[in-house]
């Protein structure tokens, strides 16, 4: 089944056309700077890359993407009818959705409720859905929630220790994110471990620009590091991760910042970027650290330490762990980071095979633990778009059966 996956942001719209059966990516790209000056659309297919003039709004962006995909010279589709379904990434399903859903008028009404939870992402995600339904009214569309996989967390893990009445009334709680990635890795890890999904216990470290670790018991998320928003947890590219909330008050007083300014600072100017002063990109921070930049070295050490600490805490949560899995841009590509995170964990039963870790070839599933390691260590490339396509296909197949 050919499925179009859409990830709409406020001024961008990423698209990927996949064949859910063969897992092949047929074409992909990004509509950038939507509504801004010099918007453009990138388009990759068959190893080629092209750029086209962009769009003034999301509806036009989708129209243009569909025109590109069906163009008779460079397109990959004969007709739009070949697209059997569209899957949309939705940042949050809030307290309501614990699985992917068919997009209906009623669902869109419900999603509006989440603007407060994710003011930057939710309105943009919904905009993409509305625009796509307008342009492709007869194609079934599915919302895939970043938070859905974590809705199995027990109340003690997702509740913040504030006045219970407030958490109930305003839905203030840990939701968790990167759900499609953590779910995909859970399914893949079960395969390589030769176990049923319901029997796998994992610690999944998704380390990229945004990073989160999830504790999986019996194939289900029982805790994760991101919280009400993706700001909580690990040290990330530009996000601070866990801090004492009093830092907010301190910054407001010292730097005469508003709450919004402080939140922008913690989300966009902190993490690797804030500590190193070099970059939010881990490769650049690693390179600067190698050249002797002390702040870059500290930033890298802090990232590894925050991951290490959470692996330790999830070992305590789960007790019995089949595997620690690394994924995401940093987790899949940086052998040095994996080694720093995992060294001296022998007493927890986690022992890295340093050679295997170093010699590992990118883009494949690899066991990198020592033979004597009680807990296996894997690198498994994530594929969030494929997970979204698989979900979309399942829902659309059910829909077709029910007709």
Binding site for ligand AMP (CB under 6 A): 208-209, 237, 281-283, 286, 328-330, 333-334
Enumerate the active-site residues.
Answer: 146
Nearer to ligand AMP, 94 or 328 (CB): 328
| Closer of 200 and 273 to ligand AMP (Cβ) | 273
Whole-angstrom Cα distance, residue 216 to residue 14? 29
Q: Minimum Å distance from CB 374 to ligand AMP?
A: 28
The least CB distance from residue 14 to ligand AMP, in Å, is 12
Least distance from ligand AMP to the Cβ atom of residue 210, Å: 6
Residue nearest to ligand AMP (CB): 329
Nearer to ligand AMP, 118 or 304 (CB): 304
SS (HEC) of the chain: CEEEEEEECCCCEEEEEEECCCCCEEEEEEEECCCCCCCEEEEEECCEEEEEECCCCHHHHHHHHHHHHHCCCCCCCCCHHHEEEEEEEECCCCCCCCCCEECCHHHHHHHHHHCCCCCCCHHHHHHHHHHHHHHCCCCCEEEEECCHHHHHCCHHHHCCCCCHHHHHHHCCCCCCCCHHHHHHHHHHHHHHHCCCHHHCCEEEEEECCCEEEEEEECCEEEEECCCCCCCCCCCCCCCCCCCCCHHHHHHHHHHCCCHHHHHHHHHHCCHHHHHHCCCCCHHHHHHHHHCCCHHHHHHHHHHHHHHHHHHHHHHHHHCCCCEEEEEHHHHHHCHHHHHHHHCCCHHHCCCECHHHHHHCCCCCCEECECCCCCCEEEECCCCHHHHHHHHHHHHHHHHHHHC
Q: How far is the CB of 211 from ligand AMP (least distance, A)?
A: 8
Smallest gap from Cβ 302 to ligand AMP, in A, equals 14
Q: Is the Cα dihedral 287, 293, 299, 303 positive or negative? A: positive
Least distance from C-beta 177 to ligand AMP, angstroms?
12
Phi, psi of 335 (to 5 degrees): -65, -40
Closer Cβ to ligand AMP, 208 or 274, answer by number = 208
* C-beta of 70 vs 267, nearer to ligand AMP: 267
Q: In this complex, which beta carbon is closest to ligand AMP, that of residue 179 or of residue 208? A: 208
CA distance 123 to 129: 10
Shortest Cβ 127–ligand AMP spacing (Å)? 23
**Cβ proximity to ligand AMP, 151 vs 333, nearer residue:** 333
């Amino acid at each position: 089944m050919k499925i179009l996956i859409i990830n709409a942001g406020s001024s961008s719209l990423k698209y990927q056309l996949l064949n859910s059966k063969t897992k092949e990516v047929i074409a992909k790209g990004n509509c950038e700077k939507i509504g801004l000056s010099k918007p453009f659309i990138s388009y990759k297919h068959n190893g080629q890359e092209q750029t086209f003039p962009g769009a003034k709004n999301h509806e036009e962006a989708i129209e243009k993407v569909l025109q590109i995909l069906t163009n008779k010279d460079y397109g990959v589709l004969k007709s739009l009818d070949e697209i059997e379904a569209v899957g949309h990434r939705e940042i949050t399903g809030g307290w309501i959705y614990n699985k992917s859903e068919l997009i209906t008028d009623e669902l869109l009404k419900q999603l509006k409720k989440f603007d407060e939870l994710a003011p930057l992402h939710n309105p943009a995600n919904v905009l993409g859905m509305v625009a796509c339904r307008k342009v492709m009214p007869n194609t079934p569309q599915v919302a895939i929630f970043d938070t859905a996989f974590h809705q199995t967390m027990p109340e003690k893990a997702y509740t913040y220790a504030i006045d219970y009445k407030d958490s109930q009334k305003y839905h203030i709680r840990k939701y968790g994110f990167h759900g499609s990635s953590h779910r995909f890795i859970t399914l893949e890890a079960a395969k390589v471990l030769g176990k049923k999904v319901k029997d796998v216990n994992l610690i999944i470290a998704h380390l990229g620009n945004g990073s989160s670790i999830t504790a999986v018991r019996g194939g289900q998320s029982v805790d994760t590091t991101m919280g009400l928003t993706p700001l909580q947890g690990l040290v990330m590219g530009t996000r601070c991760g866990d801090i004492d909330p009093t830092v907010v008050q301190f910054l407001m007083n010292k730097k005469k910042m508003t709450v919004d300014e402080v939140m922008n600072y913690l989300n966009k100017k902190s993490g690797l970027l804030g500590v190193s002063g070099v970059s939010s990109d881990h490769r650049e921070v690693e390179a600067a650290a190698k050249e002797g930049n002390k702040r870059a070295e500290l930033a890298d050490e802090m990232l590894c330490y925050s991951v290490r600490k959470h692996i330790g805490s999830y070992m305590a949560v789960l007790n019995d762990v089949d595997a620690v899995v690394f994924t995401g841009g940093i987790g899949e590509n940086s052998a040095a980071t994996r080694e720093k995170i995992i060294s001296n964990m022998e007493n927890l039963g986690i022992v890295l095979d340093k050679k295997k870790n170093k010699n590992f070839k990118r883009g494949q599933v690899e066991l990198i633990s020592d033979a004597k390691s009680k807990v296996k260590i894997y690198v498994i490339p994530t594929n969030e778009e494929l997970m979204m396509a698989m979900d979309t296909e399942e829902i659309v197949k059910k829909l077709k059966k029910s007709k």
